[in-house]
Amino acid sequence: MNEEKVSKKNTLEERQPFISLVQANKIYAHGVQAVYDFSLDIFEREFVVFVGPSGCGKSTTLRMIAGLEDITSGELYIDGVFANNLEPKDREVSMVFQSYALYPHMTVYKNLAFGLETRHVPRDEIDERIKQAAKILEIEPYLERRPRALSGGQMQRVALGRAIVRKAKVFLMDEPLSNLDAKLRVQMRSELVKLHRQLGSTTIYVTHDQTEAMTMATRIVVMKDGRIQQVGTPKEIYDHPANVFVSKFIGSPAMNVLTVTYKEGTIVFNNGHSIKLPAKIVEMHDYIYSAQHTHTMHFGIRPEDIIQEGYPTLAKELSKPLAVEIKLAELLGNEYYAHADFDNEPIIAKIPAGKDIFEGDQINLCFDMDKIHLFDIESGLSIEKMQEDKKHDEKK
């Protein structure tokens, strides 16, 4: 009987979001709107990353969840409870900032204990929780030190420790790694992922760094100008960017996006070079633009989906090759970022570093036809996204 109860509870939990934002808007006192109609359900144990350029409203959204900013309009639910007006301390969330925010005159132990003491947690339990957190974070040898005697990475661990000892159900992290040097950042990235697996705490993480988003998130929310652009797993977002902005923001070097003419099942570049599109794409195109046989579009291809003619590839179908002139060849050890002029627009291709490539060389490039993207010239939306929206509208 008990088992049945448990399994029912689990399915219910699976369906119920742990944090919900419904049409949340934020307008600051001087009238600047930082967030528009932000709606998102976050489920227990997710690691959700808000990513986008500086000023796009990531921190504001996080701070509305933490209770550090009022929500101008819209609703916030935490664990099913309407939370717009809950005090930050009553939200069971714990925030980790970029600046660590450690007390300089207190030892690491005291820094970890402080928040719990103010909540009147019994001394033994505080001690127990600190030892546990210190073990997880490997900061046991530093408990009696003051923050100034710690490295950046150690300070960041202490800041995380403070969130862990609080046993908050939700960790909110605002660019927690941006003060660390590049090597430590990479190391802490994997440590945070491990920590998340270990603790199973729901995490919302803000960063402007798409690599952090791609490597850490279970789900990514891409934002721009206060609006959500796309929500999806890293793979969904990388393989199926919903618009030109997302396609260029996620991935490094960025996706190449060129303006082309769509003409009866082919795309024609400005230099006259044309490639025939796969039937699947033409079908999608015709479904959206029924009568438009010739019009301007954006064409996108990632640098790794451009193949040098004659090189081995897993691609099932390649476009016919086009000769381009290399303007710059950046060697990264095992591969080149080959900058070339295509269609009077610069493109970058990732090419294996088998043979030396020099500026001025002519090479033949082909596109992996399964990996091309087409975007609407006006809205910037991908045709995949437009197809999905149109089907959705037709169902209504």
Out of 8, 10, 13, 55, which residue is the one contacting ligand ADP (CB under 6 A)? 55
Does residue 28 interact with ligand ADP by CB under 6 A? yes
Q: Are 229 and 199 in contact (CB under 8 A)?
A: no
Supply the Cα-derived Rg of the chain in whole angstroms.
Answer: 25
Number of Cα atoms under 13 Å in the Cβ half of residue 214: 14
Does residue 59 interact with ligand ADP by CB under 6 A? yes
Q: Closest CB to ligand ADP among 60 and 202?
A: 60
Q: Closest CB to ligand ADP among 59 and 256?
A: 59
> For ligand ADP, which stretch binds (CB under 6 A), given 57-65, 72-80, 275-283, 332-340?
57-65
In the complex, least distance from residue 36 CB atom to ligand ADP, rounded to whole angstroms: 11
Does residue 60 interact with ligand ADP by CB under 6 A? yes
Peptide bond preceding 312 in cis form (omega within 30 of 0): no
- Residue type, position 186, single letter: V
Map tokens 């033409």 to a residue.
282
CA dihedral 167, 169, 174, 178 (to 10 degrees): 50
In the complex, least distance from residue 63 CB atom to ligand ADP, rounded to whole angstroms: 7
Polymer length of the chain: 396
Burial of 118 (0-12, 13-18, 19+ CB in 10 A): exposed
> Segment 235-264, which members bind ligand ADP (CB under 6 A)?
none
- In this structure, what are the phi and psi dihedrals at residue 306, rounded to the nearest 5 degrees? -105, 125
Does residue 66 interact with ligand ADP by CB under 6 A? no
In the complex, least distance from residue 60 CB atom to ligand ADP, rounded to whole angstroms: 3
In the complex, least distance from residue 56 CB atom to ligand ADP, rounded to whole angstroms: 4
Out of 20, 24, 58, 374, which residue is the one contacting ligand ADP (CB under 6 A)? 58
Strands 202-207 and 170-174: parallel
Provide the binding-site residues for ligand ADP, judged by CB under 6 A.
28, 32, 34, 52, 54-60
